[in-house]
Amino acid sequence: MLGAPAQPCYDGFVTPKPTPSARVLFVDDDSATREGYTAYLASSGYDVMPAATGWQALTLASTWAPNVIVLDLGLPDIDGWQVARQLKASPRTATIPIIALTGADLPHERVSAMRAGCDRHLTKPCVPADLVNAIQRSMGEAPERNGLPSAASR
């Protein structure tokens, strides 16, 4: 998928190693969550930039140019739904896939996240290997995902 050799994960699935240039912006206000997932992603070969607030996410998405954004929806300053809307409204960041990683797993919240511009929705706690698989799928997908048009096409 990414052109790199595959390696087995502890969950039994075979996933390719990411290319060294795969950049992930990981946004979560909880420091333990942020540090744990960023350490796992870095050990999986990603170049990871952590952010603790929505404003940091918006700034880093524009200046650091990640390949994928993993976004908590419950942020202290501006919520993840607003962050996703702003990212998809900006020509500079509109095409970056956004994965919502949140504790909310109600069907209406999934739909709300997708309508705000998130391309995928994962529920915490999430097995780190599942997050890696979601990142890899997101980097290879077309603009329309999960049956809903992306915010950029609206």
Tens of pLDDT along 111-150? Answer: 999 999 999 999 999 999 999 999 999 998 433 334 444 3
Asked if residue 112 belongs to a domain, the reply is yes
Asked if residue 12 belongs to a domain, the reply is no
Tokens encoding 68 = 């994928």
| Total number of domains in the chain | 1
Asked if residue 131 belongs to a domain, the reply is yes
User: Which distant-in-sequence residues (6+ apart) come within 8 Å of 3 by Cβ?
Assistant: 16, 19
Percentage, residues of the chain above pLDDT 70? 77
The dihedral sign for the CA sequence 123, 126, 128, 129: negative
Q: Return the pLDDT at 11.
A: 40
Q: How confident is the model at residue 109 (pLDDT cuts 50, 70, 90)?
A: confident
| CA separation, residue 55 to residues 18, 48, 60, 141, 154 (Å) | 27, 17, 9, 27, 24
- Rounded CA gap, 125 and 70, in Å? 14
Q: How confident is the model at residue 21 (pLDDT cuts 50, 70, 90)?
A: low
Which structural domain, as residue segments, surrounds residue 51? 20-139
Tokens encoding 1 = 């998928």
Asked if residue 72 belongs to a domain, the reply is yes
Quick one: average pLDDT of 7-26? 58
Asked if residue 59 belongs to a domain, the reply is yes
Q: How confident is the model at residue 152 (pLDDT cuts 50, 70, 90)?
A: very low
DSSP symbol at 11: T
Q: What is the CATH number of the domain that holds 91?
A: 3.40.50.2300
Asked if residue 1 belongs to a domain, the reply is no
Asked if residue 5 belongs to a domain, the reply is no
Asked if residue 42 belongs to a domain, the reply is yes
Instruction: Provide the whole-model pTM.
Output: 0.79
